[in-house]
Structure 1
Amino acid sequence: MSDMITFKYLRDIQKKERSSSGLCKLDDNFYGAVQEYVLRKKRIKDRGKDLSFREKKEIENIGPVVKSIYDTRETKIVNGAVKAARTGMKMENILLSEKRLFEDVRKKLVDGREVLESVLCPGNGGVAEVKGDEDVPDGFSKIRIVEDIPEFVGEDLKMYGPWKAEEIVLCPVSFSLMFVKAGKAEKVGED
């Protein structure tokens, strides 16, 4: 693929990325091929060979063009992660090297939404994560989850969980005692 990379090709990709709402289809090794292209151009420049004005300008502008491509894709990936957190939609044409950014941002947003849901619907899953020495409401206790606990229906017919290991949550006392006894949670602080 690195032989296919030219300044014109990069400018075309830049224009396509800017004009389309979604990610443009790129080869999985796009950034690796661009790196090889940049190194090849740098070696030509370092040899001190006489270059035309156009060649000098292309070499000068490779960095800004590639950065522009990356920045545009990054913005689309972050926006796509927001949509995925809200709707569960999948991101198309994302490169393997970009997938981690997408998943990290999406996960943080989903975690934030879970906290928001627990604040807006208390007793519908408890507080996903409790920080500091917050007051524990009557009938609830604060526990640290030791093993993942799937979502379940409480005796009050409300949904609770799911909770992941290491989360500190507020849970009705009857459930917290049961989880502690079963070794799935530990008490935090005093009731």
Structure 2
Amino acid sequence: MLDLLEEKVKQERETSELSRLDKDFFFKLQEHIGILKSANDLISQRKLQLMQELLQELVDLRAEKILKGHQTGMLTPEVNLAQFASTFKKFKKDALKSLLQEEATTQRVIVLQDLPQFYGPELEILGPYKKGEVVLLDRTVVTLLKEENLVEER
């Protein structure tokens, strides 16, 4: 198993795309690590240490590739990381766009009464907010809440 792990790490180092792993690769690795942990001899302990180091490197290399957008050959749990990376890139782009807009579309207000959770103009969930809390809200939401005396400008 140590040889296979070394081979997979080598493949990850040498290619820019994710290398293919069997779906049960990490499960088999986990079983082998369990066997090595239960053995009390020095050779097994050294193999265990090497496997842990190689496993860490393999996971780091794969995560880095996924975050850079190399999505072919992903295992099911790695898809979540890719989706997170994609969402984060979109958030970063949207946040930058919002900051660079000439006219601010949000406004800082102080909440005058406890507000339950509600939907914003883009159907995003807002709140709940506590009395006295200072929040940044879309101007259209602020206008509606001010009319009901639920918030005031800060």
Displacement, 1:100?
2.6
Tell me the SS of whatever aligns to 1:189: strand
Aligned partner letter, 1:15: K
TM (norm. structure 2) is: 0.67
Given the alignment, which residue of 75, 98, 121 partners 1:149?
121
**Quick one: distance in 2 between partners of 1:73 and 1:14?**
9
Shift of the 22–29 alpha-carbon distance from structure 1 to 2, 3 Å rule, reads same
For residues 168-179 of structure 1, what are the structure 2 equivalents within 5 Å?
A: 168-171=136-139, 177=143
Aligned partner letter, 2:12: E
Shift of the 188–119 alpha-carbon distance from structure 1 to 2, 3 Å rule, reads farther
Residue 189, structure 1, aligned to residue 152, structure 2: yes
Residue 30 (structure 1) aligns with: 25
Displacement, 1:147?
1.7
Displacement, 1:190?
2.8
Displacement, 1:69?
0.5
Q: Deviations over 1:43-64 (max 9, x none)?
A: 3x32x4x96xxx6753441111
Structure 2 unaligned regions, length at least 5: 110-116, 128-135
Residue 79 (structure 1) aligns with: 68
How many residues of Structure 1 are paired with residues of Structure 2 in the alignment?
Answer: 138
Residue 3 (structure 1) aligns with: none
Structure 1 unaligned regions, length at least 5: 1-5, 81-89, 134-144, 151-162, 181-185
Residue 65, structure 1, aligned to residue 54, structure 2: yes
**Whose helix proportion is higher, 1 or 2?**
2
Given the alignment, which residue of 65, 68, 77 partners 1:97?
77
TM (norm. structure 1) is: 0.56
**Quick one: distance in 2 between partners of 1:165 and 1:112?**
19
Residue 15 (structure 1) aligns with: 10
Task: Find runs of 4+ consecutive structure 1 residues off by over 4 angstroms.
Answer: none
Displacement, 1:8?
1.2
Give the fraction of aligned pairs with identical amino acids, expressed as a percent. 18
CA RMSD across the alignment: 3.5
Q: Deviations over 1:120-159 (max 9, x none)?
A: 23459x35xx6x66xxxxxxxxxxx932534xxxxxxxxx
